[in-house]
Structure 1
């Protein structure tokens, strides 16, 4: 169950970074809406990460959380913010994903 919570925490990290990207492009009340969503997802992500670390090793949980956030944010950037999808970016994203999966398999919990 805590692995599921950790994945949700990582997805919330993707959400809060996406909100930052949208806030950067927004003006007026839309800016404050995106910043409010950023604060919501930031808080939820941190609370869920804390909950996951109650039974998972801290180092593993943090690495998986940041990995999910990094991979998700790069993919969101490519799809929605027109960031480049070069061979090397995709190669290192795949390497990061395999590292996250590897950490899950070698975790003692």
Structure 2
């Protein structure tokens, strides 16, 4: 169950930078901040639950990795962020690190 919480926490981690991005748009400031705050709280709580059974370093690494990968993809797909070879290589390396941490977790 810990890994389900951790994946959920990572997915919630994508929501707060999205909320902050939306808060920059006219008419969405309050809603964007509210969205970011809600996702931060949900993400933190799910991480708390995950750390009951998953080592802290593994949980934190996977949590931030999922958030970074997700935020990168949302930025590229919906906000026109740069999609260069170097950025994709960086995301590949993050994914590789998350996979190694999952495999190595006790």
Count of paired positions: 106
Deviation at 1:78, TM superposition (A): 0.6
1:53 to 43, 48, 51: 51
Tell me how far apart the structure 2 counterparts of residues 83 and 6 of structure 1 sit (CA, whole Å): 27
CA deviations 1:22-80 (Å, max 9, x no partner) are 111233xx311111111111100000001100110000000000000011111111111
Match of 1:102 in 2: 100
Match of 1:15 in 2: 15
Asked if residue 78 in structure 1 is aligned to residue 96 in structure 2, the reply is no
Deviation at 1:93, TM superposition (A): 0.4
TM-score by length of 1: 0.93
Q: 1:96 to 1:42 in 2, by over 3 A?
A: same
Tell me how far apart the structure 1 counterparts of residues 26 and 46 of structure 2 sit (CA, whole Å): 28
TM-score by length of 2: 0.96
Which 4+ residue blocks in structure 1 deviate beyond 3 angstroms?
A: none
Give the RMSD, CA atoms, in angstroms: 0.9
Q: Which runs of 5+ in 2 are unaligned?
A: none
Q: Which runs of 5+ in 1 are unaligned?
A: none
Tell me how far apart the structure 1 counterparts of residues 80 and 35 of structure 2 sit (CA, whole Å): 22
